[in-house]
């Protein structure tokens, strides 16, 4: 519940109150409250990874849709099942860990939160006892811990790399290229090469320390090795070797972070009961509603959903305008968007932000299909009408 308060998510209490019964004991009340808090936290994380808003309005819509089913739940198991069915389609979104980026002006709070949760999980597992609350708490208007880029933005620092400086700049902001370290260390390490920062990282926390070869294979690492083996992460913890290609290394760290995130927010960890069969439409196999809430709303519809329905032709040209400039992109067959730089995105807002170099708000309203003049938001509404007979707004 502390995490949702940190992320300014007060509407969890509406769901909690709806789930409570007069005969509930104090213990049952707290366990139901924790189920709801975990569910809202999962919503925040899977939205943040896709660069989608998770403000009060978004949570209000989610809560309002779930209230009837939550009120009908009687026991903890009932509530766990209701919330589990509602969240079943969110878990594939953890694949976005591998492509999500840090943008200091817009998603800094989310990236700090995400890294803190991963860092604290590993610390607790290896006996460090670190708590995410401490990692996120500021003192004297300054945070104890800050986001640290593994690779400096200074040009020419890696002349031995075949990767151009421009690509390094692009890759370094991916989640796999980041760690959370002490704020004082963050300020002092400056433009050093990664191999020159490995020793300071060892003093910070286990996730940062895992970049050093001695942290995963040296003396005194038995507890660490046992813990990561227990969670099938051994092959994903790969220390940095000076001179190895930067892009593939960051991608491998991204896969590690995805695997950890899937453990931190696993259904078992959150207490959510998943449906035996996860139908992508949110309906049973005969098409009947499962009675939770419409699985496809404007918040849960993806570009891949639209592509599967053939709502936009493959290789259609997209266009978006900002400050008098036109930005073009291509709609790929699987629903991804390729912008003019060649970068490919699975969601419209990051594509728009990258294409313009600025925050555009909603990529759904920014991008227009050039041939039909329909925004992606309009196409999404058409899709929702086609699959459910109901549109969910712009």
Residue-wise pLDDT for 78-110, tens only, equals 999 999 999 999 999 999 999 899 987 788 999
Q: For residue 344, what is the enclosing H or E element?
A: strand 344-345
Q: Of 51, 68, 96, at which residue does a domain stop?
A: 96
Whether 317 and 241 share a structural domain: no
Judged against a pLDDT cut of 60, whether residue 281 lies above it is answered with no
Whether 255 and 327 share a structural domain: no
Flag whether 213 is in a domain: yes
Q: To 10 degrees, what angle do helices 108-125 and 26-48 make?
A: 120
What mean pLDDT is predicted for residues 233-240?
Answer: 94
What mean pLDDT is predicted for residues 267-291?
Answer: 59
Whether 318 and 342 share a structural domain: yes
Band the pLDDT of 283: cuts 50, 70, 90. Answer: very low
The reported pLDDT for the residue numbered 279 is 45
By the 8 A CB rule, do 302 and 309 touch?
A: no
Closest CA to 181 of 149, 214, 133, 142: 149
CA–CA separation, 46 vs 170, rounded Å? 23
Whether 108 and 243 share a structural domain: yes
Whether 190 and 309 share a structural domain: no
Per-residue pLDDT of 149-160, as tens digits, reads 999 887 677 666
Flag whether 44 is in a domain: yes
Judged against a pLDDT cut of 90, whether residue 231 lies above it is answered with yes
At residue 317, what are phi and psi to the nearest 5 degrees?
A: -90, 135
The reported pLDDT for the residue numbered 184 is 61
The reported pLDDT for the residue numbered 59 is 85
Whether 259 and 113 share a structural domain: yes
Band the pLDDT of 391: cuts 50, 70, 90. Answer: very low
Flag whether 327 is in a domain: yes
Whether 119 and 236 share a structural domain: yes
Whether 131 and 187 share a structural domain: yes
pTM, rounded to two decimals: 0.72
To 10 degrees, the CA torsion angle through 34, 107, 50, 368?
140
Whether 41 and 103 share a structural domain: no
What mean pLDDT is predicted for residues 51-73?
Answer: 87
Judged against a pLDDT cut of 70, whether residue 129 lies above it is answered with no
CB half-sphere exposure, 248, CA atoms < 13 A: 9
**Residue 111 domain boundaries:** 99-264
Flag whether 244 is in a domain: yes
Flag whether 10 is in a domain: yes
- Collapse the DSSP code of 161 into the 3-class scheme (helix H, G, I; strand E, B; otherwise coil) and give the result: coil
What are the C-alpha distances in Å from 41 to residues 38, 89, 155, 194, 199?
A: 5, 15, 38, 33, 34
- Mean per-residue pLDDT over the chain, rounded: 83
CA–CA separation, 243 vs 264, rounded Å? 32
Tokens found for residue 104: 């200091």
Number of other residues whose CB lies within 10 A of the CB of residue 307: 19
At residue 289, what are phi and psi to the nearest 5 degrees?
A: -65, 140
Q: To 10 degrees, what angle do helices 108-125 and 246-264 make?
A: 70
What mean pLDDT is predicted for residues 158-174?
Answer: 73
Band the pLDDT of 11: cuts 50, 70, 90. Answer: low
Flag whether 140 is in a domain: yes
The reported pLDDT for the residue numbered 41 is 94
CA–CA separation, 345 vs 367, rounded Å? 13
Flag whether 393 is in a domain: no
Flag whether 279 is in a domain: no
By the 8 A CB rule, do 301 and 383 touch?
A: yes
Whether 186 and 129 share a structural domain: yes
Q: Of 248, 264, 280, at which residue does a domain stop?
A: 264
The reported pLDDT for the residue numbered 62 is 87
Whether 207 and 248 share a structural domain: yes
The reported pLDDT for the residue numbered 165 is 64
Whether 124 and 239 share a structural domain: yes
The count of structural domains within the chain is 3
What mean pLDDT is predicted for residues 2-10?
Answer: 51
Q: Which residues of 361-383 are buried (b: 16+ CB within 10 A; e: fewer)?
A: ebbbbbbbbeeeebbbbbbbbeb
Q: Of 46, 62, 96, at which residue does a domain stop?
A: 96
């Amino acid at each position: 519940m502390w995490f949702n308060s940190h992320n300014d998510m007060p509407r969890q209490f509406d769901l909690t109150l709806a789930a409570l019964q007069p005969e509930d004991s104090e213990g049952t009340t707290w366990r139901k409250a924790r189920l709801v808090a975990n569910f809202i936290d999962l919503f925040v994380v899977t939205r943040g990874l896709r660069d989608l808003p998770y403000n009060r309005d978004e949570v209000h819509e989610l809560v309002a849709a779930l209230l009837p089913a939550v009120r009908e739940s009687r026991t903890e198991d009932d509530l766990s099942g209701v919330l589990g069915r509602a969240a079943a389609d969110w878990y594939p979104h953890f694949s976005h860990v591998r492509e999500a980026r840090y943008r200091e002006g817009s998603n800094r709070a989310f990236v700090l939160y995400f890294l803190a949760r991963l860092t604290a999980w590993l610390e607790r597992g290896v006996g460090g006892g670190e708590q995410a609350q401490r990692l996120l708490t500021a003192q004297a208007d300054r945070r104890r811990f800050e986001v640290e880029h593994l690779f400096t933005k200074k040009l020419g620092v890696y002349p031995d790399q075949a990767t151009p400086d421009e690509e390094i700049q692009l890759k370094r902001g991916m989640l796999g290229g980041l760690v959370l370290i002490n704020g004082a260390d963050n300020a002092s390490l400056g433009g050093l090469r990664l191999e020159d920062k490995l020793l300071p990282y060892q003093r910070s926390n286990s996730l940062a320390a895992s970049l050093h070869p001695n942290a995963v294979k040296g003396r005194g690492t038995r507890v660490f090795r046992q813990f990561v083996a227990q969670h099938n992460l051994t092959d994903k913890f790969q220390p940095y070797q000076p001179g190895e290609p930067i892009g593939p290394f960051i991608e491998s760290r991204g896969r590690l972070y995805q695997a950890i995130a899937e453990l931190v927010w696993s259904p078992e960890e959150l207490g959510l009961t998943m449906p035996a069969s996860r139908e992508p439409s949110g309906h049973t196999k005969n098409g009947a509603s499962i009675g939770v809430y419409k699985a496809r709303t404007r918040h849960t519809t993806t570009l891949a959903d639209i592509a599967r329905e053939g709502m936009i032709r493959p290789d259609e040209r997209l266009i978006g305008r900002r400050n008098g400039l036109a930005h073009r992109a291509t709609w790929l067959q699987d629903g991804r968007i390729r912008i003019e730089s060649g970068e490919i995105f699975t969601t419209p807002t990051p594509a728009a932000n990258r294409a313009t170099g600025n925050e555009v708000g909603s990529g759904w309203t920014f991008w227009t299909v050039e041939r039909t003049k329909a925004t992606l938001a309009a196409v999404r509404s058409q899709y929702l009408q086609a699959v459910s007979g109901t549109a969910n707004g712009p």
